[in-house]
Amino acid sequence: MLVILLFGPPGCGKGTQGKLIVEWLPARIPTISTGDMLRGEIAAGTPLGLQTKSVIAAGNLVSDELVNQILRARISRPDCQNGFMLDGYPRTVEQAEYLDTVLAELGMPTPVVLHLDVPADVLVGRMVSRRNCPKCGRMYNVLTMKPKVDGICDDDGTALATRADDREDIIRDRLKTYADVTRPVLSHYPGDRYFQIPGERSTQYVFEEITEILERFLAEEAAAPKATAPESANAAAEAAQPVR
In a domain, 207, yes or no: yes
pLDDT beyond 90 at 233: no
What single DSSP character describes residue 145? Answer: B
Is 70 domain-assigned?
no
Q: Which one of 14, 74, 126, 131 is the catalytic residue?
A: 14
Q: Is the pLDDT of residue 127 over 80?
A: yes
pLDDT greater than 80 at residue 179: yes
For residue 240, the model assigns a pLDDT of 36
| Number of domains the chain contains | 1
pLDDT for position 105: 94
pLDDT(13) > 50: yes
| Average pLDDT score over residue span 35-54 | 89
Buried b (16+ CB within 10 A) or exposed e, 160-186: beeeeebeeeebeebbeebeeebeebb
Q: Which residue, among 69, 68, 70, 90, has the nearest Cα to 3 in the 3D structure?
A: 90
Q: Is residue 208 part of a domain?
A: yes
**Strand positions, DSSP E, the chain:** 2-7, 31-33, 83-87, 112-117, 130-132, 139-141, 194-198
68 part of a folded domain: no
For strands 139-141 and 130-132, give the pairing: antiparallel
The catalytically annotated residue of 39, 163, 176, 226 is: 163
The predicted structure's pLDDT at residue 231: 53
- Residue 42 maps to a domain: no
**What are the backbone angles phi and psi of residue 205, rounded to the nearest 5°?**
-65, -45
Task: Please give the pLDDT value at position 226.
Answer: 61
pLDDT of the residue at 145:
87
Q: Does residue 197 lie within any of the structural domains? A: yes
The pLDDT tens digits for 55-98 are: 888 888 888 899 999 999 999 999 999 999 999 899 889 999 99
201 has catalytic annotation: no
* Per-residue CA distances from 227 to 74, 112, 236, 239 (Å): 21, 19, 12, 15
Annotation marks residue 91 as catalytic: yes
Helical packing angle, 64-75 and 47-57, nearest 10°: 150
Active site annotation includes 167: no
pLDDT digits (tens, 9 = 90+) for 204-213: 999 999 999 9
Residue 17 domain-assigned?
yes
Average pLDDT over residues 170-178: 91
Question: By residue range, what is the domain housing residue 139?
Answer: 2-29+82-222
Query: Across residues 127-144, what is the average pLDDT?
Result: 91
Least confident of 130-134, 228-232, 239-243: 239-243
Q: How confident is the model at residue 118 (pLDDT cuts 50, 70, 90)?
A: very high
Is residue 228 a part of any domain in this protein?
no
Write down the mean pLDDT value for the chain.
Answer: 87
126 among known catalytic residues: no
- Strands 112-117 and 31-33: what pairing? unpaired
Residue 20: CATH number of its domain: 3.40.50.300
pLDDT of residue 224: 72
Active-site residue, selected from the candidate residues 53, 146, 172, 174: 174
Out of 91, 167, 193, 201, which one is annotated catalytic? 91
pLDDT band (50, 70, 90) for residue 154: very high
Residue 229, pLDDT above cutoff 80: no
pLDDT over 60 at 244, yes or no: no
CA dihedral 195, 199, 205, 207 (to 10 degrees): 60
* The pLDDT of residue 222: 75
pLDDT of residue 235: 44
Residues 126-130: what's their mean pLDDT?
Answer: 91
